[in-house]
């Protein structure tokens, strides 16, 4: 109840502060587990996407944020869990798998960190690994625009993607990386062109 109230307040703020347009809402799964994969360019990305999507999201957030007194408490309360960047965080992956197996929606930034304008976007294989292990569809979402007062911000929700080996087996590490690379390219193409894929 309280989480719903906070979400509505954040949503109201987002629509008032930005000229926010959401495209492709029919592509978002109404039920069942799903992975939301989106580009990460600002601190605003997480609250914005959590406020415009119709279902609650579980987030991975860098563990350093949880040591900030108020922010850490808010993140835990909102369903986020810590991840150690730069190495394979087994506990974070287990938490993600558990959330998805419980039918929740998990939000992941394929780059693993914010990428500023002009910097190279490099995908990590984690999103493909989690998708393969759970069978959850991956919903590519692109955020486009500048986070400035009354600036236009577009959210493009793409067609869900299934990541699995063609023969029903497991993808190799290289294949998982390739799948994550393709996913990130789809997201960045949507952000640049506005064409939903």
Domain locations in the chain as residue ranges: 2-193
Q: What percent of the chain has pLDDT over 70?
A: 93
21, β-bridge pairs = 154
pLDDT for residue 88: 64
pLDDT for residue 35: 97
Low-confidence residues of the chain: pLDDT under 70? 1-3, 85-88, 116-119
pLDDT for residue 65: 84
The whole-model pTM stands at 0.88
Helix H or strand E segment including 57: strand 57-62
For residue 82, the number of C-alpha atoms closer than 13 Å in the C-beta half-sphere is 11
CATH topology of domain 2-193: Glycerol-3-phosphate (1)-acyltransferase (3.40.1130)
Tell me the pLDDT tens digit for each residue of 45-69: 988 998 899 998 988 878 888 888 8
pLDDT for residue 37: 97
Sheet hosting strand 57-62, strand order edge to edge: 19-23, 152-157, 138-145, 34-38, 105-108, 57-62, 81-83
pLDDT for residue 97: 92
Is the distance from CB of 72 to CB of 61 less than 8 angstroms? no
């Amino acid at each position: 109840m309280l989480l719903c109230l906070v979400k509505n307040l954040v949503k109201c703020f987002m629509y008032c502060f930005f000229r926010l347009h959401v495209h492709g809402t029919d592509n978002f799964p109404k039920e069942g587990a799903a992975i939301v994969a989106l580009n990460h360019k600002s601190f605003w990305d997480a609250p914005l996407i959590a406020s415009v999507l119709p279902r609650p999201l579980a987030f991975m957030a860098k563990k350093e944020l949880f040591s900030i007194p108020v922010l850490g408490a808010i993140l835990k309360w909102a369903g986020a869990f810590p991840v150690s960047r730069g190495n394979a965080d087994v506990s974070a992956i287990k938490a993600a798998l558990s959330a998805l197996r419980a039918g929740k929606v998990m939000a992941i930034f394929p780059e693993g960190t914010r990428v500023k304008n002009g910097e190279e976007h490099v995908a990590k294989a984690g999103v493909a690994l989690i998708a393969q292990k759970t069978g959850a569809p991956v919903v590519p979402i692109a955020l486009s625009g500048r986070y400035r007062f009354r600036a236009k911000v577009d959210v493009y929700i793409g067609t869900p993607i299934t990541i699995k080996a063609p023969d029903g087996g497991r993808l190799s590490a290289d294949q998982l990386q390739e799948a994550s690379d393709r996913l990130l390219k789809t997201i960045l193409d949507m952000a640049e062109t506005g064409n939903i894929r």
